[in-house]
Copies of this chain bind each other. A is one copy, B any other.
Amino acid sequence: MSRYVERVAAELTEMGMQRMASRVFACILADDAGALTAAEVGERLHVSPAAVSGAVRYLAAVGLITREREPGSRRERYRMESDRWYQIFAQREGMIRRFEQTLDTGVGILGADSAAGRRIAETTEFFSFLREENGRLEQRWWDYVKRRDEARTPGE
């Protein structure tokens, strides 16, 4: 079970997520309530509160978990909601846009008529395509979710 968490975490790490963030996330993902306090996470992973703090900051910034205060306590709960994956699209959008812009300056530097300039322009074109399709994809995801949810509550 703890092994499962580590396996999932390892793969998230391979996909580019920071190691600790992956572990914390996997931990919450596999928790029944889908929400844990920093202490609970630390206990399950055998890591210091400091490590959890850092990971949680990252995960919250990326929008994969939300922080919520437990009223009447200074504890905080970190919650994942399974519908938050769409954040990935937003992430990607920004990443691609930045890359496109950086790439594009090269056309100016190398000259639009040089072979290198043309190659870079083509590359930019690909990423531009990717970015537009990314938006389309997000839309398709929402449609998918909508259809799915309608199918699940046929009576309402």
- Give A contacts to B, CB under 8 Å: 1, 4, 7-8, 11-12, 14-16, 29-34, 80, 82-83, 85, 95, 98-99, 102-103, 105-106, 109-110, 114-116, 119-120, 122-123, 126, 129, 133, 137, 140-141, 144
Contact = CB atoms under 8 A, between A and B. Distances in A.
B116 A30 contact: yes
Contacts of A29: 116, 119-120, 123
B85 A11 contact: no
A154 B122 CA distance: 19
B120 A30 contact: yes
A109 B1 contact: yes
A102 B7 contact: yes
25 contacts: A1-B109, A4-B105, A4-B106, A4-B109, A7-B105, A8-B106, A11-B98, A11-B99, A11-B102, A15-B16, A16-B16, A29-B123, A30-B106, A32-B115, A32-B116, A34-B115, A34-B116, A34-B119, A80-B119, A82-B119, A82-B123, A83-B122, A85-B126, A129-B141, A129-B144
Contacts of A1: 109-110
A61 B15 CA distance: 17
Contacts of A12: 99
A93 to B, nearest CB: 13
A30 B115 CA distance: 9
A34 B4 CA distance: 44
Nearest to A5: B106
